[in-house]
Structure 1
Amino acid sequence: MKKNTPPMGRYTLSIFSLLSILSVLAYLSYNCAINTSSLSSSLSTTTTVDIDSDKYPKCPEVERFTPGSYQNQTFKDTLDKIINDESFRNLSVTRMQKAVQIDTSSYDDFPLDVGSNLEVFENFNIFHNYLQNEFPLFHENLKLHKVNHFGLVYIWEGSDPSLQPLLLMAHQDVVPINEDSLDQWEFPPFEGHYDGKYLYGRGTGDCKNLLIGHFEAVEELIKLNFKPTRSIIFSYGFDEEIIGLRNQNGKFIEDIFGKKSLYAVMDEGGVSLMDIGETKMAVVGTGEKGYLDLSISIQKKGGHSSVPQDHTAIGIIGDLIVQIENNKFPTYFTDYNPTFHQYVCLAENSIDIDQSLKKDILKSQFDEISNLNVRNFINKDRLTSYSIKTTQALDVIQGGVKVNALPEFVELKINSRVALEENITIAFKKFLNDTKIIANKFDLGLNVQFPYNEEIITLLPSTENGVLTIKPIKTLEPSPITPINDSKWEIFAGTIRHIYEELAYPDIYDNNDNNNDNEKNQSKIVVTPGLGTGNTDTKLYWNLTDHIYRYRPGVLPSVTANSHGINEYIEFDSHLQIIAFIFQYIQSVDQAND
């Protein structure tokens, strides 16, 4: 069994994917995977798990959290208005429609030099003008800084400069529309069609709903004469969907406040709210996998196709592809990965999870067989497996220029999302070992440029058969992991419970919080840490705080609502829940001690 700590040398430097949803949904089919008995017969067996054992891990459960102002009737009335008032809902719909109608698509070929290409980004000026006109109170009370021309940083200055500021994030840009798919959209992607329940259009789920929710929540607070004690910062990048290379907001904030100067950061991500059998879960992204793009190329003598070599450059790269794809990365199930805590929370709270799986999850950190059982179970499904291992996606291959000429240069590009238990160097060396096997097989030379090193090293001298070269293109280490089991987690997760249980769905949940054991599992939201398999703009803010929460309240996870895809939409209740959450979370953090 792999150790539960990351290997020596590990660096400690949104959309949260469908993985988190499917990883827990898959539990419900576990019984079928291990035997042919039904779930009901499994539950009727004598197999039981004592989850109170001192050896077993515990789900980081929290109580509902409400700010002191929640006792104020005026503030309660405002929350009721946000969630239930039809006039407020209609106004909010109109605001979201206007935001969606401004096409802020970002394209991969956008220039890195923003200042010399302002016209390329002109639609962001239109979006900024919309924000200015639509939210006058926000702009009258907060100071706006434009960073690298189109990045937006607003600072709502608090009365106590000794308190660490809270940073709330979103991004302005959206994924472009494939023109060939326009006829598959039920409603035009930049129309903002609303049918009374759902709002359709690009950016509704990723993530103009979060951005506009910030503005609406703050304006409601200002109307109530709320003045923050702790400064609140709002940061909106404009190229998140194209990796964020132009986003200088984080550096700007760091220059003002310094390293590790923020109370916490909240950005998009997470799994909003879902039912897993009888268990209702909200999954907060407390970590993200690393990112590695690399190139493997071969240079080889060409010639006329009438007298080909036994193995052309393309054929050798084909053999390399088979080698890489057949050599999978190892799996891990460690308490270093937030996925572990997500499974523990389900094991402790689900009333319909298979008992054998439950026992294996809770014993996994001190029993090698149990750990293996859980890893094998998770690894059975393609989408769930990537929460516990490094990925390898062979995405681009280029080579050859003419059908009757042997290729002289062929290049393969690979994307890898690196597990938290590994790092960029470990992942890179796996691909290097695969390449070395092929180099030896075909008597080829091998050159390598290791990550974080500009030097090209010759591992195997070039031969008359050619030479392979492997090098990194882009690297990002796995993110630091946000602490749980502290007051900041209690406030964040507790506010999620408060919004869902007491405001959004008060008729469903028992608000007395004194349920018996059987009712307990069905009458609360289980808030759990989780893993982001993609990367958000939070990677630009690691220097500023150890507490980064990737979560967007709502009814449906964004991937379920076709984010990045055709017919993107939100159930509009989700947007209102975002406003309510931000309204309450700002107040809760404002009353907290650092």
Structure 2
Amino acid sequence: MIEKHNVSSYNRSSSKKFNFIKSIALVLLSSIALYSIHFNCLETPSEITLLKLAECPDAEIYRPKSYDSNKDVLYKIINDETFRNKSVVKMQNAVRIDTSSYDDLPIDVSKNLEKFQHFNVFHKQLREDFPLLHQTLELHMVNHFGLVYIWKGSDESLQPLLLMGHQDVVPINEDSLDQWDHPPFSADYDGKYLYGRGSGDCKNLVIGNMEGVEELIKVGFKPRRTVILSYGFDEEITGIRNKNAEFIESIYGKKSIYAVMDEGGVSLSQVGDSTMAIVGTGEKGYLDLSLAIQKKGGHSSIPQDHTAIGMMGDLIVQIENDKYPTYFTQYNPTFYQYVCYAENAVDIDEHLKHDILYSQVDELSNLNVRNYINSDRVTSYAIKTTQALDMIQGGVKVNALPEFVELKINSRVALEENITIAYDKFVKDAKVIADKYDLGLYVQFPYSNDTIEFKPPTDVGILTVKPINILEPSPVTTAHNSKWQLFAGTTRHVYEEIAYPEKYIDQGKRVIVTPGLGTGNTDTKLYWNLTDTIYRYRPGVLPSVLAGSHGINEYIEYDGHLQIIAFTFEYIQSVDESDD
């Protein structure tokens, strides 16, 4: 563990003069953006004493009391070739069944059962591959194709543990088939990797949960705390047909679940010499919106100076140049991700470490950290609202002026903001263009069916702004309680003592388990009523976003799948030993 700064002697009243001088220095330095320049002008980090407002929610290794008696089972899961090969067959069976969800699937499932028959094929395969699970757990079919398995515990006073995933996968673009090294539903396995659509998102989680449960049944485990497995069938198309959470709530009530674990987070990530497991404890909000320009058409031989497409192009430039602000606050679990890295990494730059640890009391340090995170596209999404201009359509003929042009945008809303704040930014951008080209401006706001006339229609045309889909940022799961200690501690236990015991035999090496921000909106949004504790995490080796999920050549490293089984096996037992 890196030695922490000594802050016990900090005194607010005795430091007023220092703070005054420091504030002047900050004003003089505020225009300096580069890291190295900043620290050439200030004292070294060890010479500055400030109050830290947060520390890493660290966790000691946690293993269930039954660990010693089940070591052979865990060794078999991770190392036995026979077990591995049998597991591979189950994964192959799952991946080879095409359970694609298409955007045009009907909402009313009952009246369109034939559209969802591929899930019946999947369910039949699950019954064949997991007979013990289906003999032991109660299966409830929810809205025809949702799966809810209930493993009743002996103590009804304990809140159930809920493990979840989804059965459906993203469809294959037929035009990309020649770019797949392995056919998307072949489930080819080469001894290290298993290939195919859904292998990483997220049939490996569904199958891994079931394999872990069956291993528990085989050793005679009988839960004290009820365990629920819940698998929806339309996660990839917003989950609007998923009624599993409503069904569970009808049985157990609101805020009745001990914790939920779903896909998400970052499995294992190598940051320099540090290995991190980042558990999603929050998700950004979701906003789809439409901006449309209606304008008189005509023959393209006598065009206006600015067609509807030209105006929309200007609006696009306005939107993309008008960036959302960045944040680095304790409300966002990303903050603790970087604090944990700063406190535990052995190879972190000392200046960066200082800025992270003192970011909440030093404005310049906060700015430096935000610039550091925002400089990388992969990490920048976590500290700001994003905007992706994804769809545009307009015009019907090359020699006819367009009369209608529509732009659709997807925005993921920062936890420090909300849908209204994010939406207002697009309204502001639209107003700039409406004023510039003398367009009328109509705006429909979220949570309202009314359309507001910001500017009346003109002879030029009308610009309209309206929401399509909205979801507020999620509640944030705390990482400062015993539930987190157990989850993070079990994660360390599985990686350090079961999966890689030789790698972590050195006391100085460890896996840093931290809170983080979920990379996408999952079915967990349907479960907010059931619990305040949601962990978006899929154990394993590779983050799914780096293994082709939703893209070409999706695959998993099979060691990671075995780690899901081991984690399920251990986590259920660990939670079963704890009291509410």
Alpha-carbon distance in structure 1 between the residues aligned to 2:222 and 2:575: 13
Secondary structure of the 1:483 match is coil
1:187 Cα offset (Å): 1.8
Residues 51 and 348 in structure 1, CA contact (< 8 A), matched pair in contact too:
no
Task: Identify the match of residue 534 of structure 1 among 505, 520, 529.
Answer: 520
Alpha-carbon distance in structure 2 between the residues aligned to 1:533 and 1:280: 19
1:579 Cα offset (Å): 0.4
1:218 Cα offset (Å): 0.8
Aligned CA distance change for structure 1 residues 444 and 266 (closer, same or farther; 3 Å)? same
Secondary structure of the 1:116 match is helix
Q: 1:186-242: per-residue Cα shift (whole Å, max 9, x none)?
A: 222212111111111111111111101111111111111111111111100111111
Match of 2:10 in 1: none
Q: Is 1:60 the equivalent of 2:46?
A: no
Correspondence list, 1:526-565, <5 A: 526-565=512-551
Task: Identify the match of residue 341 of structure 1 among 326, 331, 336.
Answer: 336
Q: 1:102-135: per-residue Cα shift (whole Å, max 9, x none)?
A: 1111111212121222122111101000111111
Match of 1:123 in 2: 118
Alpha-carbon distance in structure 2 between the residues aligned to 1:117 and 1:487: 45
1:404 Cα offset (Å): 2.3
Alpha-carbon distance in structure 2 between the residues aligned to 1:531 and 1:150: 30
Task: Identify the match of residue 100 of structure 2 among 98, 105, 124.
Answer: 105
Query: What amino acid is the match of 1:133?
Result: E
Secondary structure of the 2:348 match is coil
Alpha-carbon distance in structure 2 between the residues aligned to 1:566 and 1:118: 30
Q: Which contiguous aligned blocks of 4+ residues in structure 1 show a shift greater than 6 angstroms?
A: 50-53
Residues 51 and 358 in structure 2, CA contact (< 8 A), matched pair in contact too:
no
1:47 Cα offset (Å): 4.1
Alpha-carbon distance in structure 2 between the residues aligned to 1:225 and 1:52: 56
Correspondence list, 1:401-480, <5 A: 401-480=396-475
1:152 Cα offset (Å): 0.5
Match of 2:66 in 1: 69
Task: Identify the match of residue 380 of structure 1 among 360, 367, 375.
Answer: 375
1:54 Cα offset (Å): 5.3
Alpha-carbon distance in structure 2 between the residues aligned to 1:195 and 1:404: 55
Residues 50 and 358 in structure 2, CA contact (< 8 A), matched pair in contact too:
no
Q: 1:320-349: per-residue Cα shift (whole Å, max 9, x none)?
A: 111111110111111111111111111111
Aligned CA distance change for structure 1 residues 579 and 533 (closer, same or farther; 3 Å)? closer
Q: Is 1:365 the equivalent of 2:365?
A: no
Match of 1:220 in 2: 215
Match of 2:176 in 1: 181
1:307 Cα offset (Å): 2.3
Q: 1:424-478: per-residue Cα shift (whole Å, max 9, x none)?
A: 0000000001111111111121111110000111111111111111110000001
Query: What amino acid is the match of 1:174?
Result: V
Q: 1:151-187: per-residue Cα shift (whole Å, max 9, x none)?
A: 1011111111111111100111111122222222222
Alpha-carbon distance in structure 2 between the residues aligned to 1:449 and 1:403: 32
Q: Is 1:589 the equivalent of 2:579?
A: no
Alpha-carbon distance in structure 1 between the residues aligned to 2:208 and 2:48: 39
Query: What amino acid is the match of 2:66?
Result: S
Task: Identify the match of residue 572 of structure 1 among 558, 568, 575.
Answer: 558
CA RMSD of aligned residues (A): 1.9
Alpha-carbon distance in structure 2 between the residues aligned to 1:182 and 1:462: 48
1:306 Cα offset (Å): 2.4
1:312 Cα offset (Å): 1.6
Residues 264 and 520 in structure 2, CA contact (< 8 A), matched pair in contact too:
no
Alpha-carbon distance in structure 2 between the residues aligned to 1:410 and 1:134: 51
Q: 1:2-24: per-residue Cα shift (whole Å, max 9, x none)?
A: xxxxxxxxxxxxxxxxxxxxxxx
Aligned CA distance change for structure 1 residues 318 and 175 (closer, same or farther; 3 Å)? same
Match of 1:86 in 2: 81
Residues 443 and 451 in structure 2, CA contact (< 8 A), matched pair in contact too:
yes
Correspondence list, 1:305-316, <5 A: 305-316=300-311
Residues 148 and 248 in structure 1, CA contact (< 8 A), matched pair in contact too:
yes
Alpha-carbon distance in structure 1 between the residues aligned to 2:47 and 2:472: 38
Aligned CA distance change for structure 1 residues 384 and 502 (closer, same or farther; 3 Å)? same
Further displaced range: 107-116 or 232-241: 107-116
Query: What amino acid is the match of 1:118?
Result: L
Secondary structure of the 1:269 match is coil
Gaps of at least 5 residues in structure 2 are 1-33
Aligned CA distance change for structure 1 residues 329 and 48 (closer, same or farther; 3 Å)? closer
Match of 1:241 in 2: 236
Alpha-carbon distance in structure 1 between the residues aligned to 2:378 and 2:441: 34
Aligned CA distance change for structure 1 residues 245 and 51 (closer, same or farther; 3 Å)? farther
Aligned CA distance change for structure 1 residues 396 and 294 (closer, same or farther; 3 Å)? same
Alpha-carbon distance in structure 2 between the residues aligned to 1:397 and 1:188: 31
Aligned CA distance change for structure 1 residues 320 and 211 (closer, same or farther; 3 Å)? same
Alpha-carbon distance in structure 2 between the residues aligned to 1:415 and 1:495: 36
Task: Identify the match of residue 194 of structure 1 among 164, 189, 198.
Answer: 189
Match of 1:266 in 2: 261
Match of 2:495 in 1: 500
Residues 286 and 473 in structure 2, CA contact (< 8 A), matched pair in contact too:
yes
Match of 1:25 in 2: none
Q: 1:367-405: per-residue Cα shift (whole Å, max 9, x none)?
A: 111111111121222222111111111111111222222
Alpha-carbon distance in structure 2 between the residues aligned to 1:131 and 1:532: 28
Aligned CA distance change for structure 1 residues 252 and 464 (closer, same or farther; 3 Å)? same
Alpha-carbon distance in structure 2 between the residues aligned to 1:492 and 1:467: 54
Query: What amino acid is the match of 2:573?
Result: Q
1:81 Cα offset (Å): 1.2
Alpha-carbon distance in structure 2 between the residues aligned to 1:427 and 1:560: 28
Residues 417 and 533 in structure 1, CA contact (< 8 A), matched pair in contact too:
no
Query: What amino acid is the match of 2:299?
Result: H
Secondary structure of the 1:386 match is helix
1:493 Cα offset (Å): 0.4
Match of 1:148 in 2: 143
**Length-normalised TM-score, structure 2:** 0.91
Task: Identify the match of residue 301 of structure 1 among 292, 296, 299.
Answer: 296
Match of 2:25 in 1: none
1:274 Cα offset (Å): 2.2
1:52 Cα offset (Å): 10
Further displaced range: 527-536 or 420-429: 527-536
Q: 1:264-295: per-residue Cα shift (whole Å, max 9, x none)?
A: 00001111112222211100001111000001
